[in-house]
Structure 1
Amino acid sequence: MQQSGPAGLSGLCRVTDHLYLSNGRAASDSSQVTRCNITCIVNVTETGSSCPPPPGVEEYIHIRVSDSPLSPLSVHFDEVADKIHLTAERGGRTLVHCNAGVSRSASVCMAYLMKHRGATLLEAHRWVKTCRPMVRPNNGFWKQLTQYEMELRGCNSVRMVTSSMGEIPDIYEEEARNMMPL
């Protein structure tokens, strides 16, 4: 698995040669979008941009989803993963963003890596977190990602477990224990 390093925490973070992840502010920076040769933008927020896409962006897709554990993000996993894949096959580059570039957009990128790059959910999370260290999908999106991994692979590399903070992915178990008062 080829991984790219951070492109500046406030900028566009390269996940693969054809996939970038960012927050809304960086996605609206036409100089960054142009410099990275982005041809497709996927906006995963409740409200869309009122600005036209920067020059060179041929497709702008808005997935209206709030950053709530109850939001049905998984209904968009296949659609967005396939769009990223198709854009790459055509030689284009996709930028996926949400408001902070932490939960919704990261979850969608992880779904793409599982479906089209053969990554397990655990590998996809590490891959995206390497590119953008602040990545942290909400627990509802984790639950949807574990279900998606089960559909794709027939097994799970990440499990949801009960903790004092509610249901969390097992990769956060130690962190949750360390947050408990002594």
Structure 2
Amino acid sequence: MAAIVPHCDDISPIIPYLYLGNYRAATNPTLLRNNGIRHVMSILSEREAISPDFKVETIQYKMVVKFDLPGEDMLLTLPECIEHLTTITKSQQGLLVHCMMGVSRSATVVLGFLMKTNGWPFEKALQVLISCRSVVNPNFGFRAQLRLFDRMGFRLDINNKELRLYMLNAIAFRNYTEQFHQNVVEYLRRLEALERTESATNQLSYTTVFRCVRCSRPVFTDLNLLEPHQHGGITTGGLMTGGSPMSALVPESNSCKYFLIEPIIWMIERDVLTSFPGNSTGKIPCPHCNALME
């Protein structure tokens, strides 16, 4: 096989032991060896994955399956990727992070790492990375996700309503008509895992508990509340907050008396979502007394 001649944009040093590059760099044994690279993190689709024929036995490979699409989720993967980059660079072993071109997907991971490690806002991290590798240009969806990561203090803040809505769209509503129920289960699993992590460092933050009018037991909190919605959700007729009917919180000028809430674990346990989508009645049974909350 003919030797691969490095191109000026194939690989770029970012900080000691961390390199950002493209597919050609990741499959060039000479280039990897000359830069002391012992680890390769690939941010690729399954079809783009490096063939075993192009892998080097002395190098450890990590694959993160992602497409370079604005709607692709990078945000929820960032903490794991950042931890990997931190561990390898601290061990003073060379690490190449790459995608096909070293422009968008892999740059997004390195940007997240620079932001968290240095406490830099997104725009500064981007400016620094471009100074190291001029072709860096994450797609607009990845930029939006990194800006949210910035606003959350470089972590996945489960108290952040933007994150909860992002997760709902990224997980529960992907392939919406085909596997909605399975997607919701996955969404709740991921949300529950994040809530457990969050509770270890910061208690879940909510100010209002919504209770069933009949049995007065908790149903959900304002952390689960998304926004008023004209086509679905739970109406104010079957709920109260504290000792006051929920209707007291709705302006008289607002003709909509529904509240849209995110899926909650008891909805799966009670099989509430089996008939969804298609059920537009807005009636959900209380998980405690089974009264319909209209």
TM score, norm. by length of structure 2: 0.48
Residue 159 of structure 2: aligned partner: none
Q: What is the DSSP-based 3-state SS (H/G/I as helix, E as strand, rest coil) of the residue aligned with 1:9?
A: coil
Residue 21 of structure 2: aligned partner: 22
Instruction: Summarize deviations over 1:9-30 as a string: whole Å, max 9, x none.
Output: 3331001002100110111111
Q: Which runs of 5+ in 1 are unaligned?
A: 1-6, 155-182
Residue 122 of structure 1: aligned partner: 123
Instruction: Summarize deviations over 1:47-76 as a string: whole Å, max 9, x none.
Output: 21113532532x211110000000001111
Once the two structures are overlaid, the 10-residue window that deviates more, 36-45 or 116-125, is 116-125
Computing the radius of gyration over CA atoms, which structure comes out larger, 1 or 2? 2
Instruction: Summarize deviations over 1:95-135 as a string: whole Å, max 9, x none.
Output: 10001111000111000001113222112101111111111
Residue 54 of structure 1: aligned partner: 56
Residue 176 of structure 1: aligned partner: none
Contact 1:34 1:54 in 2 (8 A): no
Aligned partner of 1:71: which letter? Answer: E
Residue 175 of structure 1: aligned partner: none
Contact 2:116 2:154 in 1 (8 A): no
Distance 1:56 1:143 in 2: 37
Report whether the alignment pairs 1:65 with 2:50.
no
Return the structure number with greater relative CO, CA threshold 8 A, min gap 6: 1
Distance 1:135 1:153 in 2: 20
Residue 11 of structure 2: aligned partner: 12
TM score, norm. by length of structure 1: 0.75
Residue 81 of structure 1: aligned partner: 82
Q: What is the DSSP-based 3-state SS (H/G/I as helix, E as strand, rest coil) of the residue aligned with 1:91?
A: coil
Distance 2:118 2:124 in 1: 10
RMSD after superposition: 1.8
Residue 36 of structure 1: aligned partner: 35
Distance 1:50 1:120 in 2: 36
List structure 1 runs of 4+ shifted beyond 3 angstroms.
none
Residue 99 of structure 2: aligned partner: 98
Distance 2:154 2:101 in 1: 29
